[in-house]
């Protein structure tokens, strides 16, 4: 697929978009520009001549341990021990990038665009580490999209949000950076 992403700005007219979810449509068409102007979220679109095919919005964030509902203190300890094997276990916040929104138009779904976007975000997170540390990519994933994020190797923090409309998921960048260091 050879379409290029474009970062939105206030001069740009955003082309029609429908991913089947009203909130996600509304964000792109009515709110993304304000978020961009106020430096709250950066939005990128993929489009053809007449319509938007996909978009995503990202921003800097941190993983706040106190906001994650682990099933027990042991589960929390194990989580931190696994992710941060070196002696920084007292940290309560970890640097991250958050996928605020990600949506593919109904016509373009299941054609590999979601994966292409995820690869772009991961590449960006890896490169960002050259200047500013970033350990995780975070997302509050919609129930219907959980399978997609699982395919993209995202993991769940806990089972406590199993029945919620969205679930907190993360991708740890560290193994990807270590693999690059080894080459």
Ligand X SMILES: CC(C)(COP(=O)(O)OP(=O)(O)OC[C@H]1O[C@@H](n2cnc3c(N)ncnc32)[C@H](O)[C@@H]1OP(=O)(O)O)[C@@H](O)C(=O)NCCC(=O)NCCS
Nearer to ligand X, 9 or 23 (CB): 23
Nearer to ligand X, 6 or 116 (CB): 116
Nearer to ligand X, 48 or 71 (CB): 48
Nearer to ligand X, 24 or 171 (CB): 24
CA distances in angstroms from 15 to 21, 30, 51, 107, 147, listed in the order given: 16, 11, 5, 15, 28
Q: How far is the CB of 43 from ligand X (least distance, A)?
A: 14
Residues forming the site for ligand X (CB under 6 A): 19-21, 24, 102-104, 109-115, 139, 141-142, 144-145, 147-148, 151
Pick the closest to residue 63 from 139, 131, 120, 142 (CA basis): 139
Pick the closest to residue 124 from 7, 39, 38 (CA basis): 7
Determine whether 22 is exposed, middle or buried from the number of CB atoms within 10 Å of its CB (0-12, 13-18, 19+). exposed
Q: How far is the CB of 147 from ligand X (least distance, A)?
A: 2
CA distance 102 to 73: 32
Q: How far is the CB of 12 from ligand X (least distance, A)?
A: 21
Q: How far is the CB of 125 from ligand X (least distance, A)?
A: 17
């Amino acid at each position: 697929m050879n379409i290029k992403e474009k970062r939105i700005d206030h001069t740009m007219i955003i082309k029609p978009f429908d991913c089947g979810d009203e909130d996600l449509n509304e964000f792109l068409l009515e709110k993304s520009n304000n978020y961009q102007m106020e430096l709250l979220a950066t939005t990128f679109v993929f489009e053809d001549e007449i319509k938007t095919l996909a978009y995503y919005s990202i921003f800097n964030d941190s993983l706040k341990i106190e906001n994650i509902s682990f099933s027990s203190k042991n589960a929390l300890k194990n989580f931190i021990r696994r992710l941060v094997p070196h002696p920084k276990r007292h940290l309560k916040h970890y640097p991250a990038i958050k996928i605020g929104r990600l949506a593919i138009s109904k016509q373009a779904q299941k054609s590999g665009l979601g994966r292409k976007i995820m690869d772009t975000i991961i590449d960006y997170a890896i490169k960002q580490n050259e200047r500013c540390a970033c350990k995780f990519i975070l997302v509050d994933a919609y129930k219907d999209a959980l399978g997609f994020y699982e395919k993209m190797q995202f993991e769940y923090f806990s089972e406590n949000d199993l029945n919620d409309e969205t679930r907190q998921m993360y991708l740890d960048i560290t193994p990807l950076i270590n693999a690059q260091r080894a080459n």
